[in-house]
Amino acid sequence: MALEKGSIKVKETKEVKQLRNKILGMEMELYMISKDLERFKNELFYNKKMLKMIKENIDFLQTSNVTVSLGESKKIKQQKKLVETRIKYYNEKIQPLQQMLIRKEVSHKEEMKKFQKAYRLQFENNILEFPNDRRKKA
């Protein structure tokens, strides 16, 4: 692929092409991980909210003189256990994803520095020959 800088065409080096492809792959991976992390955080938030509501309901049922059937009482306790299990699951998933995201962001920044350096070098090392000059020398 030839790049244009002003009116000068410079052919991309192999290293620049490889780094460009590697960085693109890393960016796609970062995007997917960040979306997963965002989804897990949203689910965790929702489940914590549900747990708070269930605890309030249990507290209300225990402190008031309301009569609840045994089946309904068991159902509420099962819901509480289910929500607590989900909270534990999402907490276990979030921390490793955050650590992975941080590591991948650091390596992405390093690759971007390499790419910028290689990209600049291809312009600095470019030697231009003009056909008219060769004819005059011969």
Which domains occur in the chain, in start order? 2-125 (1.10.287)
Burial grade of 43 (CB within 10 A; 0-12, 13-18, 19 or more): middle
CA separation for the pair 36, 29 (Å, rounded): 11
The model's pTM is 0.69
pLDDT of residue 6: 55
Which are the contacts of 37, defined by CB distance < 8 A and separation ≥ 6?
A: 94, 97, 98, 101
pLDDT of residue 35: 96
pLDDT averaged over 10-residue windows placed end to end, the chain, 138 residues: 54 83 94 96 96 90 78 88 96 94 95 89 64 54
Smallest CA-to-CA distance from 103 within 21, 46, 10, 30 is with 30
pLDDT of residue 93: 94
Q: Are 33 and 93 in contact (CB under 8 A)?
A: no
> In angstroms, what CA-CA distances link 97 with 1, 11, 25, 37, 102?
36, 39, 18, 6, 9
pLDDT of residue 59: 86
> In angstroms, what CA-CA distances link 36 with 33, 42, 103?
5, 10, 16
pLDDT of residue 7: 54
